[in-house]
Amino acid sequence: MNTTKATSIPASPKKTRRPASLDKRKAHAGWFFVLPFVIGFVLIYLPIIFDSIKFSFNEINPVRTGGYTLDYVGFANYQTALFENADYVKTLVAGIKQLILEVPSIVIFSLFIAVLLNDKIAGRAAFRAILFVPVILSTGLIESIDAQNSLSEFMGSDESIDMGTGESAAAQLSQAIDLEALFANMKVGTELVEYVASAVDSISNIVNRSGVQILIFLAGLQSISPAIYESCRMDGATAWETFWKITFPMISPMILVNAVYTIIDAFTSDSNAVMKLIDSVYSQPNGNVVSSAMAWMYFLVVILILAIVAAIMSAFVFYQKKD
């Protein structure tokens, strides 16, 4: 009798689950921190956005029994904002001109101060805190504590830097130097004269709004390996060459970030003239639909400016490749 041995099939080895890589763990942690904002945006802000879009294309008619009805009017509210409201376009153009002046000034000033504070100088921690004080004073928490808002008004008013003449220090500086006469003697264009004079008049505003940008630049500067600077010194590179060939390219992503942040901050600040105009129109009879149209046109202008700035600056941004 022939007996055949049953051949046993070897069991397949159990697949061991590989631990997630460091990049994946960081990505998961990032989504974990972003998730509360996403949930809040979907549940709270998204319905408001949809209502705002709906109001901008409709006319609101109150009902005696309570509530209201919406009558579709197409782009009539947008035409009212553009052609019947004389202040909207003028204020928007003036805001864009002010933006062109302030954004480069804030970014350049922030970079200059960050480079100085990145060096090992005595009291640099105190200087960092002093430059960040205006950001803290502008927060809602401080304003709620300061019920009369006297501290914030004093810090932002001309009286806080008044030297007895009733004028701000920036105005006194521009008068003392007489920039227009100075540049006229140098035979430069009137456009440059107006730009520099406006920048001098905006010195206090530039300093007050540079705190966050300085910290972002400091974070970028401190992420550069000291070994790179040591190699430059060994090769005989000057400080000027090191800045333009090492420091500036490696913090160029931070320049883009700060430019985008400054533009958004300028367009959404409470002192923005367009935002104030939209608020004033909202309080007028049937002004909520017109203000919605104004807000969405304003939003599209901001998005367009951000897209142009990001497209232009991205071409000059240096991204270090990972090994």
Residue boundaries of the structural domains of the chain? 57-314
Q: Is 111 exposed, middle or buried (0-12, 13-18, 19+ CB in 10 A)?
A: buried
- For residue 318, give the nearest of 246, 267, 259 by alpha carbon: 246
Q: 157-210, pLDDT tens digit by residue?
A: 444 444 444 554 455 545 555 555 655 665 555 666 666 666 666 677 777 788
**15 or 32, higher pLDDT:** 32
Q: 94-117, pLDDT tens digit by residue?
A: 888 888 888 888 899 899 888 888
pLDDT number for residue 161: 45
User: Which CA distances in Å does 20 have to 67, 254, 284, 311?
Assistant: 54, 29, 57, 34
Q: Is the dihedral of CA 178, 154, 132, 259 positive or negative?
A: negative
Please give the average per-residue pLDDT across 134-142, as a whole number: 56
- Mean pLDDT of the chain, nearest integer: 77
Q: Is 174 exposed, middle or buried (0-12, 13-18, 19+ CB in 10 A)?
A: buried
pTM of the model: 0.69
- For residue 259, give the nearest of 195, 306, 224, 302 by alpha carbon: 306
pLDDT number for residue 24: 78
**Contact in structure between 110 and 218 (CB atoms under 8 Å):** no
Q: How many whole angstroms separate alpha carbon 306 and alpha carbon 10? A: 62
Report which DSSP code applies to 163: -
Nearest 5°: the CA angle 151, 164, 269 is 35
**122 or 257, higher pLDDT:** 257
Out of 3.40.1180.10, 2.60.40.4070, 1.10.569.10, 1.10.3720.10, the CATH code matching 57-314 is 1.10.3720.10
Q: Name the packing angle between helices 211-222 and 86-118 (round to 10°).
A: 40
pLDDT number for residue 160: 44
pLDDT number for residue 298: 92
